[in-house]
Structure 1
Amino acid sequence: MVINGVELELDLLDADMAEKFESECQIVKARVTDKKAYEGKSNPDAIRYQCEVVNDFFDSIFGYGTSEKVFEGRHHIGKSMEAFATVVSEANKSGEKIKEISREYMPGDATPNRAARRKHKKGRGNMSAYQGTRP
């Protein structure tokens, strides 16, 4: 994906990257919604704070220095939030790709639950039907 002219790669099909992405999104949410972080701040300082939260996200996900390349040292809340939204949108596309792959390799009634698959395969799906004939 390209954000503000900078090519970035986000591979959320990789479990480690997906885990890091989810963790960083939770950190962004917690920091942006923390009312104490805004106490005593002017509107421009609050904007800077939110931009720094997004900068930290970009540096953590894409590597240190990425935010400087993407935002060129500016604290523009519109550009920061738009860039963050672009990354989240790309993540949603990855989620759809995962669902597509799952449907391809587990068609029909297949279930990812191993215990349920084994139970069904061994014919133990409904034991009550067999209880009357057992000694």
Structure 2
Amino acid sequence: MIINGVELQDLDIYDLEVAEKFDKELKVVAGVGEKLEGLSTPEVIRTQCTAIFNFFNELFGEGTDKKIFGDKVNLVTCLKALDEFIAQVRDQKEQIEEISNKYSINRVARRNKK
């Protein structure tokens, strides 16, 4: 898995433990948006980036934020990295759907009729 040009270990989103962590941490990141009203621009950047740093650290291990972002705290870079990650998770979901569709009840029923 490559995030912000940095190669990280592949993350299997269909492993139960990983899926639980992913869901939990994604909710945390999504919830940060509710806390931004009234904050100054630097506070917004710090708050959102910190949430994204924590997201990657929880999923890939402590220090992952430093591997991905170095010492920079840039909101655009953070959001793009999160978007890259989500896109790769979406790809995994599409792969599992493709496999699952082969064995859907409707398809199996149609095959049995032949």
1:114 is matched with: none
Aligned residues: 107
The secondary structure found in structure 2 opposite 1:74 is coil
Identity among equivalent pairs (%): 36
Q: Is the 8 A contact 1:32 1:53 kept in 2?
A: no
Alignment of 1:79-94 (within 5 A): 79-94=77-92
TM-score with structure 2 length normalisation? 0.82
Deviations 1:27-79 (Å, cap 9, x if unpaired)? 111123224xx54x421122111111100001011111000110002110010
- Whose RCO is larger (CA < 8 A, sep 6+)? 2
The letter of the residue matching 2:45 is I
2:20 is matched with: 19
Shift of residue 90 of structure 1? 0.9
Whose Rg is larger?
A: 1
Runs ≥4 residues deviating over 3 A: none
Deviations 1:78-106 (Å, cap 9, x if unpaired)? 10000000111111111111111212344
The secondary structure found in structure 1 opposite 2:56 is helix
Q: How far apart are the structure 1 equivalents of 2:104 and 2:40? A: 54
Structure 1: runs of 5+ lacking an equivalent: 111-135
TM-score with structure 1 length normalisation? 0.71
Q: Is the 8 A contact 1:28 1:57 kept in 2?
A: yes
Q: How far apart are the structure 2 equivalents of 1:88 and 1:30? A: 16
Q: More helix by proportion, 1 or 2?
A: 2
